[in-house]
Structure formats: C-alpha cells, structure tokens
A and B are shown apart, each in its own frame.
Chain A
C-alpha cells in the first residue's frame, strides 16, 4: 500500500508538470496569447463575439493563477479545446485517429513481446552457444536501426519494388468494400508498419529476457529444481522462463503507456492515419490545440499504464509486495 501511495504522488507530480508545461508554453510566447493557444487558423474565423467568448473561457483577462485554475477545470471536464483547422473539438479529432494507432502499436507490442520472450529464453538457456551468439549479434544490430528507417526499407522493398503491399494509408479509399474483404484490406495496409515496429522493438525485450534468464539460471532454486530431477522442459519454461518474464512485463507496461506516440515515425513513413500522423500535421499547420491535446493524452495514458503495472506486478511476483 505504501508503495502505491508513493507512486501515486509521483504520477501526480508528472501530471502536474505536463499540465503546467501545456499551460505555460503558449502564454510565454510574444504577441497575442489567443494566437498561441489557438493557432493561426483561429484568427481567420475570429469574430468579436468569439474573441470575447474565448477570453472568458480561458479567463485571459484574469491573473495567471486564475487562468491556470480555469484551464485545469476545463481538462477535468474533458474539454481539450477546439481545433479550428479541423473545425471540431480536439478530443473528437484525437479519438478519430486513436483506433488506427492502437491497432498498429497494439499488434506490434504483442508480437514483439512474445517473440522477444521466446528468443530471449532460448538464447539465455544456451548462453555462449552458436545459436545464442548469432541471435545476440543479430538482434543487437537490429536494435540500432530506428523504426522509421526499418519502415522505409520495408516500404521500398515490399511496396515500391515488389509491389506486394499498398504504399500508404490504412484502407483503400472509396473502395466501398465490406465484410471479409475489408478486413483483408486493413490487414494488408497494416502489415508493413506492424512489421517495422515489431522488428525495431524486438531487441529490447529479447536482451532483457536473455539477461534475466542468465541471472535466473544461477539462482539457488534452479539447482534445487534440477536436483529434484525435473525435466529440461519444465526447468527451462516453468522455472527459468517464467521468472525471466517479470522485467519484460514491466517494460511492456511502460511501452503500453507510450502507445499514443509509439508509432509516430512509422505512421509518417506509411502515411498511416493515426495519432502520429495527426501530430505531424498539427506541427506543420501550427494547430496548437491538437498538439496540446495529444500531449495531454500521452500523459494520461503513460500514467494509467504505470498504475496498471504497479497493481499487476505484485500479482505476478509476490516478492514485490513483501519488499515494502
């Protein structure tokens, strides 16, 4: 309990920092704060009534701390502001793009975690063997490739040169297909981005599992298990493998929190209509409310994922709850 309370305070600080950054940055900018908060797009649509409304909404004529209060309350009402670029509430714009990102990052997260675990267990179990050395060198090199470069190579080889996969987007536009062919179309469009993300993030899970595996294999309980005459399979998976999963689960939890920005670069390469693409467009068009909204969404998902890991962890490893 003490640990959870401690972490909650930490998350509170992180959240406050993010909200404060979101609040202070536009107000630090020279010139009209309304432009900085709403972007150039808003000025075109600006009428005296709208201006008066916006000034009131953000309490811009009040002292700074009252402005902060108004901002804070608006966030808790789920009001992330209005994008004049999309002519829609920011929350709606982001939620419209979020499913695609969740699809990409979710599938690659599952794939890379499972593959990383499997390879890591094999590698650690046979430490020093040829298999282990090849895997280690190969995956460590793979670790150096940024996901957007892996994505570009896949795009150029399998998309441009071989023509196996579509080059951009998440769906074939105006095709009017439904049912099974729609599912196939979605799968075809996500194959390359998911492959790029999986390949680029495979190594960290693998290296972590392998390192833990090596440590676990030297633990006294492994000797006991061996002395009991358990089969190799049980030793490898149930005793060593299961214990090697813990750090990977923590890492996956942390990556789950980064789900919103996880595919930022790859979405850009494949023009995939997720939150990453949205962020990039907002950056180009100076659509400040959307950038701020994305930032806030990232913060919230990071904090939620961390809380989830904290709650889940003692269930997987009872030792954790004794530690405090």
Chain B
C-alpha cells in the first residue's frame, strides 16, 4: 500500500490538466475582490446590460455585475465542496475505521446503516428537508456531509481490515501498542492515498449538488452561486443575455467538475492497481 499518490497524479496527463484547472479556479476565487471590482450582491438600476468596459459580462436582471458574481460563485462552490469533502471524510474515517477495528455487533450495525444510506438518493432527501427548513449554507454543508459519508466508510473499512492483518501491525501489537495508537501511527498513514481519492470524490459530488440545488432555487438567496445564476438566467433565455450570463456560469461549473474528474481518474489507479500504466492516456 505504499504508493506515491502525488507521483501517480503528476505523471498522468488528465491529472495534470485537472490540477491546473483546479488551481485556476482557486486563484480566481481567492482574488475575487481584486479582479471583481463590484460587490456581487450590490443591485443597481443598470439591469440586463450587454458586456462593456465597465461590466465585462454585463449585468443581470437586478443590475448585479455578472463577472463579479462568477468569481464569487467560485468561492461558494469551493467552500461547499471542500467543507463537505473534509467533513464527510472525517465521518467516513471515524465510522469506517472504528467498524473495522472494533468489529462484532458494532461493525454489523454500522455497515447496515451504511448500506441503507447508500441506496437512498441524496437529491430528494435534501429537497424534502429544504421544503421545511430554508437551508443556509451551513445547514447545506452539514446535510451533504451527513448524507455522503457512507460510501467512503465502506472503502476505508475494507482497507483497514486488510491492513489489520499485515505484519507490521501484528509486530506493533506484540510490542504492546494500543489500537488507537496503531490507528493513528500505522493505519492512517497507509490509508492516505485512498483518503485523498475519497476526498476528491466528495468534493466533486458536493460541488455538483450545491449547483443543482441552487438551480432548483433551494438555498440562501444572499449567497452567490453558479446554480442560482443559471436558474435566473434561464428565465431570460428569450433574450440574448444567456450568452454572457448563462453560458459562463455553466462553463465555470462544468470546468470545475471536469478538473476534479480528471484528478480523481488519475488517482483511481491507486484504488485499482490493475488500471496502472495509464500514465500515457
């Protein structure tokens, strides 16, 4: 299990492209206040303007600067994506590892819950909750994290079980190491490549879900989001504004997801060594 994930990704073309795209999105999101020039929420009387020197991508139906919205939208996507990625992963590690190490009835109960969660479609659960509680960004992040951990937990449990049998762990046990120490000192480092892959999956799913839900009009109206932009722009599709309003938002969202897909494809070779040697592809 000692695989250099960074090398694996760096040596594959799609992996490189993915990293470049992701870095680009992160830079734009971080630099949003500098390159944006306008407050993305600030409404004005200048509505539905065409692109110009002042407004690179024009303005929307309430006079907000679309270019600024695009940049701040990246912030929302990345914030939700990475938060859900991390929170979901932590839950996966907690339940997956403890399941494998404790075993017995605890293991069986957790795995049953995992199986049950995996088959429930996430979209409709979030819609149901959103119908009753208008979800803030924080609630959305928690909801998505709680709904996405089971997949990762199963993978982590399987890997922990196989690691548990390996020589260095038994050696460590005979020296009197406790399971907590072993989990932290030996199992976690060996799981790193898989954790990274699971993390990227989680981020990708969350970015997708956030945009989709915002597209449905679910979510905080004060938060700038690519999904909301597309939702609003679609209502004006009879005008030409979709060219600089709808398309940039959609392309930005798609590019972000493509970047993540490319990275995860390169990293998948870690989970399935039979796919190795893909470096040329």
The chain A residues found within 8 Å of chain B, CB to CB, are: 7, 9-11, 13-14, 17-18, 21-22, 25-26, 28-29, 36, 127-128, 132-133, 136-137, 140-141, 143-146, 148-149, 152-153, 155-156, 160, 207, 211, 214-215, 218, 254, 257-258, 261, 264-265, 268-269, 279-280, 282-284, 286, 288, 291-292, 294-295, 298-299, 302-303, 306
Q: Is the CB of B255 within 8 A of A144?
A: yes
Q: Is the CB of A140 within 8 A of B262?
A: yes
Q: Is the CB of B280 within 8 A of A128?
A: yes
Residues of A within 8 A of B127 (CB): 279, 283, 291, 295
B180 beta carbon closer than 8 Å to chain A: no
**Of A25, A28, A284, most B-chain CB atoms within 10 Å:** A25
- The CA-CA distance from A306 to B211 in the complex, in Å, is 28
Residues of B within 8 A of A207 (CB): 265
Residues of A within 8 A of B3 (CB): none
> Can you offer 16 A-B residue contacts whose CB atoms are under 8 A?
A17-B116, A25-B128, A140-B14, A140-B262, A144-B257, A145-B257, A148-B212, A153-B250, A156-B237, A160-B238, A214-B275, A261-B123, A282-B131, A283-B218, A288-B131, A288-B132
- The CA-CA distance from A217 to B237 in the complex, in Å, is 48
Q: Is the CB of A306 within 8 A of B255?
A: no
B119 beta carbon closer than 8 Å to chain A: yes
B7 beta carbon closer than 8 Å to chain A: no
Residues of B within 8 A of A11 (CB): 116, 119
Q: Is the CB of B120 within 8 A of A14?
A: yes
Residues of B within 8 A of A215 (CB): 272, 274-275
Min CB–CB distance A66 → chain B (angstroms): 22
Residues 202-232 of chain B, each 1 if its beta carbon lies under 8 Å from chain A, else 0: 0000001001100111100000000000100
Residues of A within 8 A of B246 (CB): 152, 156
Q: Is the CB of A218 within 8 A of B250?
A: no
Residues 91-117 of chain B, each 1 if its beta carbon lies under 8 Å from chain A, else 0: 000000000000000000000110111
- The CA-CA distance from A11 to B260 in the complex, in Å, is 32
Interface size on B, residues (CB 8 A): 49
B129 beta carbon closer than 8 Å to chain A: yes
Min CB–CB distance B129 → chain A (angstroms): 7
The chain B residues found within 8 Å of chain A, CB to CB, are: 14, 112-113, 115-117, 119-121, 123-125, 127-132, 208, 211-212, 215-218, 230, 234, 237-238, 242, 246-247, 250, 253-262, 265, 272, 274-275, 280-281
Give the nearest-CB partner of A129 in chain B: B281
Min CB–CB distance A197 → chain B (angstroms): 14
Q: Is the CB of A29 within 8 A of B115?
A: no
- The CA-CA distance from A14 to B211 in the complex, in Å, is 26
Give the nearest-CB partner of B268 in chain A: A211
Indicate whether A144 sits within 8 Å of B261 (C-beta atoms), given known contacts A286-B131, A291-B128. yes
Residues of B within 8 A of A269 (CB): 234
Residues of B within 8 A of A214 (CB): 274-275
Residues of A within 8 A of B132 (CB): 25-26, 28-29, 36, 288
Indicate whether A137 sits within 8 Å of B14 (C-beta atoms), given known contacts A18-B120, A279-B127, A306-B119. yes
Residues of A within 8 A of B116 (CB): 10-11, 13-14, 17
Q: Which 10 A-B pairs have the closest CB atoms?
A: A144-B258, A144-B257, A14-B116, A149-B250, A13-B116, A10-B115, A145-B254, A298-B124, A144-B254, A291-B131
Q: Is the CB of A13 within 8 A of B112?
A: yes
- The CA-CA distance from A156 to B234 in the complex, in Å, is 10
- The CA-CA distance from A283 to B77 in the complex, in Å, is 23
Residues of A within 8 A of B123 (CB): 261, 264
20 further A-B contacts with Cβ under 8 Å, apart from A143-B258, A144-B258, are A10-B115, A13-B112, A13-B113, A17-B116, A21-B128, A36-B132, A136-B14, A137-B14, A141-B261, A143-B257, A146-B215, A149-B250, A152-B250, A153-B250, A215-B272, A283-B127, A283-B217, A291-B128, A298-B121, A302-B119
- The CA-CA distance from A28 to B132 in the complex, in Å, is 9
**Of B123, B218, B260, most A-chain CB atoms within 10 Å:** B123
Give the nearest-CB partner of A297 in chain B: B124
Residues of A within 8 A of B131 (CB): 282-283, 286, 288, 291
Give the nearest-CB partner of A287 in chain B: B131
Residues of B within 8 A of A133 (CB): 281
Residues of B within 8 A of A143 (CB): 257-258, 261
Min CB–CB distance B62 → chain A (angstroms): 19
Min CB–CB distance A164 → chain B (angstroms): 16
Q: Is the CB of A294 within 8 A of B262?
A: no
Give the nearest-CB partner of B211 in chain A: A146
Min CB–CB distance B146 → chain A (angstroms): 12
Partner of B253, one of A132, A146, A218: A146
Q: Is the CB of A140 within 8 A of B274?
A: no
